A = this chain, B = another copy of it.
Amino acid sequence: MSSTRRTIGIGLAGLGRMGRIHADDLAGRCATGRLACVQDADPAVAREAGERYGVPWVSSFAELLAHDDVDAVAIATPTGTHAELTVQAARAGVDVFCEKPISLDRATTVATVEEVERSGIVFQVGFHRRFDPDWVAVAERIHAGELGDVALFRTSLRDMASPPAAFLAGSGGFFRDVTVHDLDVARWMVGEVVEVTAHGAAVSDPEAFAAIGDVDTAVVVLRFANGALGVIDNSRASGYGYECSTEIMGSRATARIDAPHRRNYEWRTPGAATTDLVKDFQERYPWAYAEELDAFARCVRDRTTPRVSGADALAAFDLAEAANLSWRSGRSVAVRYAGRGYELAGATV
């Protein structure tokens, strides 16, 4: 065999739902990234995964960082540990892909981003939609000027049914957990935001959401620095399936990204044609999760800057905070992009 190093060994930390998706992708669909070692706080879980994928396993993050075949790490551990592990890796000079959010606490988020920037490591946060072929194709055409000036941005993100109460309790709230994806896409596709106005409701299970002071449905209106308006609608419980669709109306063209059918066939009975709908994000995004890891691996290999940085994650975090503040206060929140994150006018909840 050649001595040419062509792939990047990824050490995967955390083997919950997202960890398993990343493991499948690294073991399978990625071309540059490659599953090199798995780690989980639970040794049984780590061992089982190591055996399944035919790779070494360890039970501490320190061992993962130190493993010979690990060139970079992907962090998919519980949210509360993201910042600490990222800093640990940064100090060890190991490149990091980290699931979002970096932290539910702003100061921790800022400190982590600063530590990462000082360290010079390659750092990417898990906003997968920036790597989906549909969104990438449209974003490229927008950035190339084919759409002209954006006048209206509209996007929907809806889950089919609410997650378990335990997940909700630790989610950081609806805007930080769900809306944050659309806020990142809005910045990527249109540009910086100057005002956020959010409206929330709990309609699928009013009592349960009231009990935790959260909502399951939201409409968030954005005003962009370039004068365009944006609107996001989100739901925990669409009922019919998983929805992720985006429309951008510009002076030269309008792009409309819609969900594909789950299967490309129509079933016709008297007077009716029926198609399957995608039910969850894995069905909607067969490629985006693999591609975000592979793009990260290419950045590690080539020492280039990821498409979505720590600063981007902080900006989306701040806009989610603005939405949260707007919802709680019942008024619009003016925001100002400040290079590293947003300043919020009157940001006291």
- Residues of A whose CB lies within 8 Å of any CB of B are 1-2, 4, 6-7, 28-31, 50-52, 54, 133-134, 137-138, 141, 149, 151-152, 154, 156, 158, 160, 197, 199-204, 206, 217-219, 221, 223, 227-231, 233, 235, 237-241, 249-277, 279, 286, 330-332
Contacts and interface: CB of A to CB of B under 8 A. Distances in A.
Given A238-B254, A251-B239, A138 B199 contact: no
Contacts of A272: 240, 274-277
B254 A265 contact: no
A218 B227 contact: no
A217 B137 CA distance: 26
Contacts of A50: 1
Contacts of A269: 239-240, 252-253
By secondary structure, the A interface counts as mixed
Contacts of A241: 268, 270-271
Contacts of A267: 141, 253-255
Contacts of A218: 229
A138 B54 contact: no
Nearest to A237: B151
Nearest to A161: B270
B264 A239 contact: no
Given A203-B251, A260-B261, 16 more contacts: A2-B51, A29-B29, A151-B201, A151-B204, A203-B228, A217-B229, A231-B231, A235-B249, A239-B249, A239-B250, A239-B252, A252-B269, A256-B273, A271-B276, A271-B277, A272-B276
A279 B269 CA distance: 11
Contacts of A237: 151
Nearest to A287: B286
Contacts of A229: 199-201, 217-219, 233
A282 B277 CA distance: 23
Given A223-B201, A250-B239, A134 B263 contact: yes
Q: Which of A240, A256, A286 has the most CB of B within 10 A?
A: A240
13 contacts: A6-B52, A134-B264, A137-B265, A138-B265, A201-B223, A239-B251, A240-B268, A240-B271, A253-B267, A255-B265, A255-B266, A256-B268, A271-B277
Contacts of A223: 199, 201
Nearest to A223: B199
Nearest to A136: B263
A195 B158 CA distance: 23
Given A52-B6, A254-B268, A270-B160, A263 B133 contact: yes
Contact of A221 (B152, B221, B256): B221
Contacts of A238: 249, 254
A84 to B, nearest CB: 30
B251 A268 contact: no
